[in-house]
Amino acid sequence: MNIKERYELPFISLVVAFRGKEIQLGKVLLDTGSASTLLNADIVRDIGMVPEENDVVDIIRGVGGVEYVYTKTLDSLAIGNMALNNFQVEIGNMDYGMEIDGILGFNFLKQAGAILNLRLMKLKIAGC
C-alpha cells in the first residue's frame, strides 16, 4: 500500500465495513504514537455509524488536546487485501485544522503486523 504525504504527514486509504455497509476513507493518518484508531464522526455517519445508548464514551488526550469519543466494533477494517474483523475503533469530531477521515493507530498497526518503509513510502501488512 502506498503512503501519501499530506500536511507533511503520512496518509493512507482504507475501507471500513459496519453492519453490512462499507465506506472508503482516503485521508487516514498513519500514527504510531496514537494508541487507538479513530474515525471522523462526520464521515462514518454516512454508513449508519452514530452514537447509540449502549456505546462506551471516553475522553482521549493527545497533542491536539482533549476529545470525547464513543467506541464501535467494525465488521472489518481493510487495507488493500488485508482486513481485521471485529476491530474496535473510536469515533470523534476530529477538528484538527486539516481535512482528515481518521487516524490509523498503533492498535491496528501492531495487530496487523505492519511494516513501514518510509524511504519508499510503503505500508506492508505481514502475510500480504
Residue-wise DSSP of 74-123: -SEEEETTEEEES-EEEEE---SSS--SEEE-HHHHHHHTEEEETTTTEE
For residue 10, give its domain range: 4-125
pLDDT band at 64 (very low <50, low <70, confident <90, very high): low
pLDDT at 110 over 70: yes
Q: Count of domains in the chain?
A: 1
pLDDT band at 96 (very low <50, low <70, confident <90, very high): confident
Of 8, 12, 7, nearest in space to 29 by CA:
12
Q: Between the CA atoms of 92, 98, 102 and 103, what dihedral angle is there, to the nearest 10 degrees?
A: -100
Question: What is the bridge-based pairing of β-strands 21-30 and 102-104?
Answer: parallel
* The three three-digit cell numbers of residue 102, written as one number: 481518521
CATH number at residue 17: 2.40.70.10
pTM for this prediction: 0.92
